[in-house]
Amino acid sequence: MVKIAQIRTHRVSVPLLYPFKAAYGVRDTADFVLLEIEDSEGRVGLGEASTIPIYDEGSQGGVAYVIDKYLKPILIGRNPLEINKLMELIGNTVKGERYSRCAVNFALYDLAGKISGLPVCRLLGGVPGPVRVCWVLSAKNPHQIQEEAEIKLQEGFKTFKLKVGTTLEQDLANLHALREAVGKEKIRLDGNGAWSPKEALQAIEKFAPYAPEHIEQPVPAEDLGGLKYVRSRSVLPVVADESVLTSREVFQAVALGACDRVNIKISRCGGGTEAIKMMGVARAGGVDYFWGSMLELGVGTVASAHFASAYPNPGMETELIGPLLLKYDVLKKPLRYDKGMLYLSEEPGLGIELDRAALKEFTVIS
């Protein structure tokens, strides 16, 4: 029987093309953890933990420590094909640790695909894409936003997500520039919890003439009552994002009537196993969903894309564009984006390979 023989973590810091600004702060590097799970026959599954400490709990150092200290001992010698059983074992071993779980989950699915000779999406009952993607714009200035949006429109993107939650004056100037640039194409807005409920409604009233398709997380994550208040009075559909970290929070938000849609970030919730549960709860409650992003490196992006390909929502583009915001990626062969679509490989597993030179260059030495 094939067994897990070795587990390796790599802490990396990969530079972004430009500082990325949102209501929660600014960052200019992707300080993530890459994971390799090797089986007894030398096959390697790849995973990623896409931690952003200024945005959510979890850190690069913490993820590497938890995997090396707690998860590695319980996984070595186990059958890597028993993914559901192993994820339950992990849940019984450490509390929380969504990013550590995600890295392991992605790596196990990659390894399972390589063992079976199938792409991950086929293991899940789907086909390898392509996956439609939305372009995500940082909260820059109007000139930069208009210039960037015009370029991406020419490249074939049809949906654009704008970070708001700076000042209302700045948000409106940025939104005006974006609408001017993209014409009648779809626009999404993301407040990242920037406002109180009443402030959110005032902002939404000003945003509405620009016809955005929704407003995402207008109030802080913990304020479900405030989210419900905004949803009951908003002229725009309201999306829960930071408020719905796992299937438990999706159930709470749906039961309360706090949102019209949920943003499911596979890299944030603990991996594909948990993401499928979140989708199921949302659907059962009559709430729409879309596949979001932590602006992952290539590993996390393509892993999420395989799940999005297997469980598509035709009406809502994914937001899986992380590698396009990097100066460099860590994959030997870059992911293929074309005309607003992300294309997946028919190769077994995730269909990717690490660029060992890039891995060495970006590894953080502690």
Residues across the chain: 366
Give me the sheet containing 336-338, strands edge to edge.
131-132, 341-343, 336-338
Q: How far apart are CA 341 and CA 236, in angstroms?
A: 27
Identify the active-site residue in 265, 332, 333, 339.
Answer: 265
Identify the active-site residue in 163, 186, 206, 228.
Answer: 163
Report CA dihedral (150, 158, 192, 308) to the nearest 10 degrees: -140
163 part of the active site: yes
Count Cα atoms within 13 angstroms, Cβ side, for 244: 36
Cα(first)–Cα(last) distance of the chain, in Å?
A: 37
198 part of the active site: no
Q: How far apart are CA 44 and CA 281, in angstroms?
A: 33
Closest CA to 313 of 335, 287, 295: 287
167-189 residues labelled b (16+ CB within 10 A) or e (exposed):
eeeebbbbbebbbebbeebbbbb
Which residues participate in catalysis according to the annotation? Answer: 163, 265
